[in-house]
Amino acid sequence: MIVWVTGAGSGIGKAIASHFAAGGATVVASGRHADILDTFATEARDKGWNVLAVPCDVTDADSVRAAHARMVDASGPVDVLVNNAGTTVFTPFVKSALADFDRLVATNLRGPFVCTQAVLPSMLERRSGTVVMVNSMAATHVFPDSSVYSATKAGLKAMTDCLRFEVRKTGCASFQACIPASHQHRELILGGRPIGSARNTPTR
């Protein structure tokens, strides 16, 4: 089984990639930093896992298409895509920068769209394949200073729901996993203050 995990060099993506690799899958690990991915692939090899480092930037459609071509050449068609790469910033609506809005949309919403479009034709042809979106409770719940991040995750939820409907009779599947904010993440967002009072808290 070939599993492509975006944002696999750290955090939740690395944990997902490790889980699949430990289970015997061939994992394609993507992210923007080749050195981080190479280190992960080397660590994985030492454990007897099969992890292929294929860097790409999900905000760059050409980079995604080139990476997809490389992984198909090296390992064959992708069976499972995990759209995990994501980024955020927590800022009051009125202070949110347009550049941050564009970056978050490009990474959290357009990125999964571009990656899914790369793998889906082959999945539909083979009548087999799964696309997983790593989503957030922010798609459906209110978090302070999270209007931009929440908008991208709500958009991702809507896109996933429509995709699931479209592919429901094709043998392919698409679903999302909504990750609750971790305790540490929540502390970072709220800075120990009550919900609704956080201002200019750090990004992660």
Ligand X SMILES: NC(=O)c1ccc[n+]([C@@H]2O[C@H](COP(=O)([O-])OP(=O)(O)OC[C@H]3O[C@@H](n4cnc5c(N)ncnc54)[C@H](OP(=O)(O)O)[C@@H]3O)[C@@H](O)[C@H]2O)c1
Q: Provide the annotated active-site residues.
A: 149
Alpha-helical runs (H) found in the chain: 11-22, 34-46, 61-75, 98-105, 111-126, 147-166, 183-190
First and final C-alpha spacing in the chain:
32
**Least distance in angstroms from the C-beta of 60 to ligand X:** 8
Cβ closer to ligand X: 12 or 72? 12
Evaluate the CA torsion angle 44, 49, 54, 56 in order and state its sign: negative
The DSSP string of 150-174 is: HHHHHHHHHHHHHHHHHTTTTTEEE
Q: Which residues contact 15 (CB under 8 A, 6 or more apart)?
A: none
**Least distance in angstroms from the C-beta of 134 to ligand X:** 4
Residues that bind ligand X (CB under 6 A): 6-7, 9-13, 31-33, 36, 57-59, 84-87, 107, 134, 136, 179, 181-182, 185
**Least distance in angstroms from the C-beta of 169 to ligand X:** 29
Cβ closer to ligand X: 25 or 138? 138
Cβ closer to ligand X: 103 or 128? 103
